Amino acid sequence: MKKAKNLLLISVGVIILGMSILYSCKNYTGPSNGQGLFADKEKANNVDSGEDSAGTQILTPDSQRVVVWNDTQSCIIPALTVMKDNILIAAVGSKTKGQLLIKESKDNGKNWTEVNAPSIGTDLNNSYVHPFFINCHNGDILLGVSTTNASQNSLYLYRSIDGKTWNQQVSNITMDKNPTTEGNKKLTSENAIVTYGNGITLRHKNNGNNKLLFPYYYNTSLRDKSGLYKSSIATMISTDDGKSWNRLGFDQGDYTSHISKFIELNDGNILYFMNDASKRVAWFESTNCGETSRCTTLFTKGAHNEDRIQYCDFARYEFDGRDIKGAEYALMVFSTDKTSYSVKMTTDDFNKGKDNKSGAYLGGGSKVIAANLTKPSAIYPTITVLKDGTIATLAAEDDGMVFRRFELNWFLEDELWMEQ
């Protein structure tokens, strides 16, 4: 009888322990073990968006909207990232030339505090500067600072372990004056631009350790039929977690383009994004970290052109290199003009840039974050992902540089409403 009683107590204990584990797993919102936090069929219903929604109300971009800088303080080109301790860091060029503004948030973007910005190279004193971030493998963050001025092609990189104290990592990276394309075509570089927002931290498949990338986008001396500059992309790589940087391989170009972006795919390949004057999309793919690349979708193809894209930014749906949901989930935030910006989440890595069809997207396509704006001269939205799986953007709106935070369920809002 005593043995039976003990066995019963052990069984009850195991059941309680099992229920506790299941409950913890259901409410766990941090990084997973690489298998994805949710099963694909669950439609992200288990995303805990924190105290804002408490599991009962979907956290939408309008649920948490905060003006980080008002429209008299900041320019229109921002950067946004999350440090390893889940502290948000935002940066933007000041309307005072040669100055950068930086703020941090320790409560998922509800409140923002100004922190010290690095002293920028004196050759940028007469320029409006714009930033980009790269998260290093060791948890540090790199802040890149450049300008769009044709006569000032300098780029500076600063390193921080806490987002408050910055040390110059690399000074004055300049553009090669006589680059060569993969087709052995000689180019003459003019206005060099380092794309705002985020560079990339290579983490997947066989890309090795301590590798970082960012695209160095520049205008050439060539013009298209309408007189617009033709542009090219140089790949800048670090193999020592950002301490030193080198140009890798040949440049990709020349095309009439507004912007260039990189994103690392789950299979370790790199997709290059470009667009043309008509806001049509082109993709290039590299299987060797950018040393060589090939065009997979040209501007004239119908695939990937369901949205007209002017300026954009990318982020994998992961935190600190670990998938929060599916392995091929990634985000793209973009503006189509100076009146609105939108976001979409691919579930197949944008079909890896192939031209046979567009990518598959959660909720069926893009969703508008803000519309009917009248004051911004342009919108350069940037995006990042927090530890709890919520998504954050930063972009110029009528009242200034605006932070918004929302959850995965927002992409499926209409479907979830229909199921109730």
416 neighbors 409 (Cβ within 8 angstroms): yes
> Domain for residue 220, yes or no?
yes
Q: In this model, does residue 195 exceed pLDDT 60? A: yes
Please tell me the distance from the alpha carbon of residue 386 to that of residue 248, in angstroms, as a whole number.
Answer: 31
Mean pLDDT within 170-188: 71
Distance CA 134, CA 157 (A): 10
Out of 65-74, 114-123, 182-191, pick the least confident: 182-191
> Which pLDDT does position 253 carry in this prediction?
67
Range in 175-189, 228-242, 357-371 with the lowest mean pLDDT: 175-189
Does any domain span residue 19? no
Residue 130 counted as domain residue: yes
Give how many domains the chain has, as a whole number: 1
For 323-374, write each residue's pLDDT tens digit: 998 899 999 999 999 999 999 999 999 999 999 999 999 999 999 999 999 9
- Burial-class residue 359 by CB neighbours within 10 Å (0-12, 13-18, 19+): buried
Secondary structure (3-state) at 415: helix
Top pLDDT among 6 and 259 is at 259
pTM, entire model? 0.85
Is residue 25 situated within a structural domain?
Answer: no
Strand ranges for 108-245 from DSSP E: 113-115, 129-135, 141-147, 156-160, 167-170, 189-194, 197-198, 200-201, 212-223, 229-238
Q: Is 10 contained in some domain? A: no
pLDDT of residue 413: 81
Identify the CA nearest to 272 among candidates 233, 240, 243: 233
Q: Please provide the average confidence, as pLDDT, over all residues in the chain.
A: 81
Domain that holds residue 199: 31-419
pLDDT at 81 over 70: yes
**Comparing C-alpha atoms, which of 105, 133, 141 is closest to residue 383?**
133
Please indicate, yes or no, if residue 16 is contained in any of the structural domains.
no
Residue 53 pLDDT greater than 50, yes or no: no
Inside any domain, residue 7: no
Region 46-57: mean pLDDT is 48
**Residue 170 · residue 236 · CB < 8 Å:** no
In CATH, what number is assigned to the domain containing residue 139? 2.120.10.10
Distances (CA, A) of 10 to 5, 17, 111, 227, 240: 9, 10, 48, 80, 52
Out of 66-80, 252-266, 363-377, least confident range: 252-266
Beta bridge partners of 81: 89
Distance, in Å, from the CA atom of 215 to the CA atom of 232, rounded to the nearest integer, reads: 10
Does residue 9 sit within a domain?
no
Q: Does an H or E element contain 397, and which?
A: strand 391-397
